[in-house]
Chain A
Amino acid sequence: MKKILTVPIKDEDLESLNVGDIVYLTGILTTCRDVAHRRLIEHKRELPVDVRGGAIFHAGPIVRALPDGEFEMVSIGPTTSMRMEKFEKEFIAQTGVKLIVGKGGMGPDTVEACQEHKAVHAVFPGGCAVLAATMVEEIVESHWHDLGMPETLWVNKVKEFGPLIISIDTKGNNIFTTNKKAFNERKGPILERIKKELSFIK
């Protein structure tokens, strides 16, 4: 059965989740990436969207402006979450966001904030941007257009948006830390074996 998170998300919705679990999101999902994080944390500007109990998406979409002044979501996939690591701990503390959707892993500061404030980070498969766009029902608001199309805060109404793979849970686990450790352990012996066959300079 599909596990669906509905905004507003409560602590108890997240406490039973483990890394590797797959969930879907119904409600509001706001795009928020590099400069929006910097404005809130470094420049102390208030985020124009209240994301308390809500979800943000590390993403810079392609959006088409329609003649009636509305916007259409054309293509929206996750961007590399690690770029936001510098700001995310403070971002979670200040905004009360519960779900952060992105791509790839995040670091120890985000893990700490997820544990302290009961939040999770989840991966939406990178590159699957049309699949994601078809799960956006409408763009309900948008802010900070001065940042250009990729960095604008697009406030999306989504239905069963996913698959979202939990990569950081509320218990201090980070799936990418575990995976990277395993990759590095495997790497050494494989390389040693390969190197023996590469002595082309004689």
Chain B
Amino acid sequence: MTQQPNVLEMTNIMAKFTDYIGKRLPKDVIKKQEELRRQETNPLAIKIYDAMAENQDKADKLSRPSCQDTGVIQYFISVGAGFPLLGELEEILRNATLIATEEGPLRHNAVETFEEKNTGTNTGSNIPWLDWEIIPGGDGVTIDVYMAGGGCTLPGAAKVLMPGEGYEGVAEFVFDIITSRGINACPPLLVGVGVSATAETAAKLSKRALMRPVDSDSPIPNAAKMEKLLTDGLNEVGIGPQGLTGKNSVMGVNIESSARHPSTIGVAISTGCWSHRRGKIKFKADLSYEILSHEGVSL
């Protein structure tokens, strides 16, 4: 198959961006960790925050993946219906993953299920995972690249509450997961919560919530209120970096929601570790691009 020059161009940019975000954290995450470090008084926690900052500095200078677990690569795509390469995007992102795996290098993390064989390429059935959102009338594309290790993927959970359990039940679910399974997931965490109709719609929204900046607020007043209550409440538990106690537990709690069935409250949680490797890149139709998550990037 011959590839058009613009397909190659976008593949190249996405390969470099995927590689880049495995080595450097987004600006909102860096800022939040500096803030948490300043608030900290526990000497052990301070030692860990300092090790984290030193690690990021070394990863940048040596151009190496800052955490060895470079995850299963996920792309969250918001694409205009008129984007010229809409039909080629899947192939572009698959090839970008292949190239980034060689160049990074990224750890080989795609195990073909049931065959139980590591493909050695970070590609496999439906991997990299693509999540699509079509924007009517648009002709550009915004892509979030996400790289989460196994450790912070393990707390992921979803269930459907009865309405009688209410938002109080949602809070309880979040607290139970974070104070038990969250401890081993490399806190301080970013907690993504989906509140929706069913288990899988809530799960998808909980992951989308992790694509929002750590210090962002929901535009829905009650959701924003709940984000703050959960953030402050979890911080009061004092899990600290690596679960070794400290002033805080989380970088933030982001809630995304949809309308629900009158008889159900679907709720789900996804967690991002402190090494929250995500990047946001926005292309115009002519493939000129802007990187929104990181500063001073040259790919």
Interface residues of A (CB under 8 A from B): 20, 22, 59-62, 64, 74-77, 79-80, 82, 103-105, 123, 125-131, 133-134, 148-150, 163, 165, 175-176, 179-180, 182-184, 186-187, 190-191, 193-195, 197-201
Tell me the complex Cα distance, A198–B225, Å: 9
The residue that A127 contacts in the complex, of B163, B236, B238, B273, with Cβ under 8 A, is B273
Tell me the complex Cα distance, A133–B59, Å: 10
Total residue contacts A-B, CB cutoff 8 A: 175
Residues of A within 8 A of B51 (CB): 125, 128, 131, 163
Q: Is B175 part of the binding interface, using a Cβ–Cβ cutoff of 8 Å?
A: yes
Tell me the complex Cα distance, A148–B69, Å: 14
Q: Is B242 part of the binding interface, using a Cβ–Cβ cutoff of 8 Å?
A: yes
Q: Is B44 part of the binding interface, using a Cβ–Cβ cutoff of 8 Å?
A: yes
10 A-B pairs with least C-beta separation: A104-B184, A127-B275, A128-B55, A131-B55, A198-B167, A75-B68, A129-B68, A195-B168, A126-B186, A130-B59
Known: A149-B107, A191-B172. A200 touches B166 (CB 8 A): yes
Known: A126-B273, A129-B66, A191-B172. A198 touches B229 (CB 8 A): yes
Residues of B within 8 A of A187 (CB): 175, 179, 237
Known: A59-B68, A62-B106. A127 touches B274 (CB 8 A): yes
Contact B238 A183 (CB under 8 A): yes
Residues of A within 8 A of B150 (CB): 79-80
Contact A194 B48 (CB under 8 A): no
| 27 examples of A-B residue contacts, CB within 8 angstroms | A22-B47, A62-B65, A79-B150, A103-B186, A123-B244, A125-B48, A126-B67, A127-B186, A127-B274, A129-B55, A129-B66, A129-B67, A130-B64, A131-B54, A163-B48, A165-B244, A179-B239, A182-B245, A183-B237, A183-B239, A190-B175, A191-B172, A191-B175, A194-B230, A195-B172, A198-B167, A200-B166
Contact B245 A104 (CB under 8 A): no
12 A-B pairs besides A80-B150, A183-B237 with CB distance below 8 A are A59-B68, A62-B70, A105-B183, A105-B243, A129-B55, A129-B68, A133-B64, A134-B62, A180-B179, A186-B237, A194-B229, A195-B168
Residues of B within 8 A of A77 (CB): 67-69
Tell me the complex Cα distance, A79–B150, Å: 9
The residue that A131 contacts in the complex, of B58, B175, B237, with Cβ under 8 A, is B58
Contact B245 A103 (CB under 8 A): no
Tell me the complex Cα distance, A191–B236, Å: 11
Interface size range of chain B in the complex: 35 or more
Q: Is B105 part of the binding interface, using a Cβ–Cβ cutoff of 8 Å?
A: yes
Tell me the complex Cα distance, A184–B236, Å: 12
Q: Which of B183, B238, B274 has the most CB of A within 10 A?
A: B183
Interface residues of B (CB under 8 A from A): 44, 47-48, 51-52, 54-55, 58-59, 62, 64-70, 104-108, 118, 120, 149-151, 154, 163, 166-168, 170-172, 175, 179-180, 183-184, 186, 222, 225-226, 229-230, 233, 236-239, 241-245, 273-275
Tell me the complex Cα distance, A80–B150, Å: 9
Known: A74-B64, A194-B229. A80 touches B55 (CB 8 A): no
Q: Which of A126, A176, A201 has the most CB of B within 10 A?
A: A126
* Closest B residue to A150 using CB positions: B107
The residue that A197 contacts in the complex, of B149, B180, B225, B237, with Cβ under 8 A, is B225
* Closest B residue to A186 using CB positions: B237
